Amino acid sequence: MLNPCFGDSTAAMGVFPPTGLEYIAASLKGLVDKITFLDLRYTKKYQNPQVLSRFIREQIDLLCIGIQWDARFEGLCDFISQLPAEITTVVGGRKATEEVEYLFGRCPNIDMIVRGEGEEIIQQIAKGVPHAEIRGLSYRLNGSVVHNENHELPDLTHIAFPDRSLRAHDYYWSQHGVRLSRHTFDTVLTTRGCPFKCKFCTFSLNPLGQKREYTERPIESVIEELQTVTADVVLFSDDNLFTNPKRAEQLCDLIIANGIKKKFVVQARIDIARRRPLLDKLQQAGFKVFLLGVESPHDRILTNFQKGITQKEIRESLAILTQYDFYLHGYFIYGNIGETEEEMLYIPKFAREIGLDSISFQKLRVEKFSPFKEIVEATPGYYYTRIGGHVYSDKYGPKELKRIRNRIRADFYNVRQLLRIAAKARRIGLVTGWDVAGSLIRLPLVLPAMIRSRMARKSRKKRPHAPAAASTRVEQTAQTP
Ligand code: SF4
């Protein structure tokens, strides 16, 4: 099992293990003699494709590679193409599902691609079921690629826990190879799907564009899994853990009753603030970080998004949430259709007004299955250059939006806000005194690596794109979180 994604740092999602691959590993138990799990973010020597190829040739019969996200996708393709062609290679994951044709064209050594959720598909491959009979599988046959019909979505209640026993190390926050936090990190999934229909979001769809039915794991099974997790910080990777608030309350009760002491990170809609008793329990159960989909301060844009909330409701919700010791992070989207510069620049002011601790802001994207694709195509002056890419307009092109992004960032993340973030993170136990002191001591180690990485990024940008399949690339999908 190979997570081939590595870069100059393990920032953001990098602190979390590749749980998707661990689900696949768990489903292979008993079907293969031995599973070796390699996460290249943490196994530096195998970041060299020649060294990794030697290891694969000596030890591996079936190579399973997970590609989840858009980040460094072209680099990943280059890397994968250098792995041994004689070893059966299966690729899966969200991004792989969206780029099936492109991956087959780009990496001649890929034999099969598992589309969608792969637990049952990989089992059939390992059992030797003829390829033609495996639904959800794309494979090579006599020089062309065959796509079998889609596999039905697996039942969440019957999927084995991710196999964490294969990990060779803990997951922690590091920057450019320098560890910055004592805390270790993990993820747990308790539900799949989301019943809401926000127009910009394809997370509520599976990678095949099908609306994911909202399904819940039995709470007892979630507790059982949590009891096996050793990490200090656990992200519930559900789209929205609070779709069923009663169940969320039960989850808190059982976390408390079973003495599970973790710091939980959770994605939520702002509507959670309407449920005071739930918020009290969440605080008691160790929920610390809320990643909130705020999206925009402007009602017109919220309506276009079909987000189902208004600016007034956001203000009211945050007025409640800020009464708790939660770390509140807000997601925003800027560069929306019809949005003026003034409106975009209101984001940092609004975020501060409502008391968010930190924010992230993304440009509007066009995804393969997103309804925004048609809207952008029908709006004069607006355009996108590829599926999965950003939306621009004649007035706000890449350069203008970059300038606006820099202003939003500079306006929000001023020294006062950074100090506030540090104080809050320390107060609620997200970082320790050791972390702060340790980070200061390690700063001289991180800075040169940061400068090197920036320079490398700049030179990569200057290099022309690889010509291979560049024209088909535009038609391919490229969804990112
Ligand atoms: S943005 Fe959140 S609430 Fe809306 S559809 Fe996506 S996951 Fe659901």
Whether residue 286 is found in the same domain as residue 402:
yes
* 90, 219: one domain: no
Domain that holds residue 138: 2-156
141 in the same domain as 246: no
Q: Indicate the Cα dihedral angle 153, 156, 160, 166, nearest 10°.
A: 80
CATH number, domain of 112, equals 3.40.50.280
Residues 200 and 104 in one domain: no
Q: Quick check: is 18 in a domain?
A: yes
Q: Give the pLDDT score at 10.
A: 45
Question: Which residue lies with its CA nearest to atom 3 of ligand 1?
Answer: 196
Q: Which is the closest atom of ligand 1 to the Cα of 307?
A: 4
Whether 38 is in a domain gets the answer yes
Residue 30 burial (CB count, 10 A): 8
Q: How far apart are CA 154 and CA 158, in angstroms?
A: 8
Q: Report which secondary-structure segment, H or E, holds 348.
A: helix 341-354
Q: What is the DSSP string of 67-86?
A: ---STTHHHHHHHHHTS-TT
Residues 88 and 235 in one domain: no
Q: What is the pLDDT of residue 299?
A: 97
Instruction: Write phi, then psi, for 141 (nearest 5 degrees).
Output: -150, 120
Atom of ligand 1 nearest to the CA of 267: 2
Which of 194, 296, 302 for a ligand 1 pocket mutation test, highest count of atoms within 8 Å of Cβ?
194
* Nearest CA-CA partner of 111 in 145, 140, 79: 140
Q: What is the CATH number of the domain that holds 380?
A: 3.20.20.70
Mutate to test the pocket of ligand 1, among 189, 239, 267, 317 (most ligand atoms within 8 A of CB): 239
Domains of the chain: total: 2
**Edge-to-edge strands of the sheet including 358-363?**
172-175, 178-188, 233-236, 263-268, 287-295, 327-334, 358-363
Which tokens go with 170? 């803990």
Cα 464 to averaged position of ligand 1 atoms, centre (Å): 36
Protein residues with CB under 6 Å of any ligand 1 atom: 194, 196, 198, 201, 203-204, 239-240, 269, 293
**CB neighbours of residue 251 within 10 Å:** 24
- Is position 477 within any domain? no
* Among 394, 416, 431, residue at a domain's last position: 431
Q: Which two tokens stand for residue 274?
A: 């309407």
* Local confidence pLDDT in tens for the 481 residues of the chain: 999 987 654 444 568 899 999 999 999 999 999 999 999 988 889 999 999 999 999 999 999 999 987 778 888 999 999 999 999 999 999 889 888 888 999 999 999 999 988 899 999 999 999 999 999 999 999 999 999 988 877 777 777 899 999 998 889 887 766 777 789 999 999 998 888 888 888 665 655 566 667 889 999 999 999 999 999 999 999 989 999 999 999 999 999 999 999 999 999 999 999 999 999 999 999 999 999 999 999 999 999 999 999 999 999 999 999 999 999 999 999 999 999 999 999 999 999 999 999 999 999 988 777 778 888 999 999 999 877 789 999 999 999 999 999 999 999 999 999 999 989 998 998 887 777 777 666 666 656 666 666 666 666 555 443 333 222 222 222 222 2
Domain-located, residue 198: yes
* Shortest-distance Cα residue to atom 7 of ligand 1: 239
Residue 479 resides in a domain: no
Distance from residue 351's CA to the centre of ligand 1 (Å): 20
Residue 162 CA to ligand 1 centre (angstroms): 24
Q: Is residue 471 part of a domain?
A: no
Report pLDDT for 6: 78
Query: Could you give the dihedral angle defined by the CA atoms of residues 435, 440, 444 and 445, in that order, rounded to the nearest 10 degrees?
Result: 0
Residues β-bridged to residue 179? 174
Asked whether 109 and 121 are in contact (CB, 8 A), the reply is no
Angle subtended at Cα 28 by Cα 24 and Cα 233, rounded to the nearest 5 degrees: 40
What b-and-e string marks burial along 315-340, b requiring 16 or more CB atoms within 10 Å of the CB? ebbbeebeebebbbbbebbbbbbebe
The rounded Å distance from CA 200 to ligand 1 centre is: 9
How far is the C-alpha of 164 from the C-alpha of 349, rounded, in Å?
Answer: 42
Whether residue 65 is found in the same domain as residue 131: yes
Please tell me the predicted confidence (pLDDT) of residue 456.
61
Listed residue (88, 81, 93) closest to 3, CA to CA: 93
Q: Which of 156, 177, 210 is the last residue of a domain?
A: 156
Residue to mutate, 198, 267, 296, 309, ligand 1, most ligand atoms under 8 Å from C-beta:
198
- Does residue 473 lie in a domain region? no
Domain presence at residue 78: yes
Instruction: Report CA(337)–ligand 1 centroid distance (Å).
Output: 19
Q: Where are the beta strands (DSSP E) in 121-171?
A: 137-141, 144-147
Cα(238) to centroid(ligand 1), Å: 10
pLDDT at 120: 92
Backbone angles phi, psi at 443, to 5 degrees: -50, -45
pLDDT score at 471? 27
The pTM (predicted TM-score) of the whole model is 0.85
Q: How far is the CA of 268 from the centre of ligand 1 (A)?
A: 9
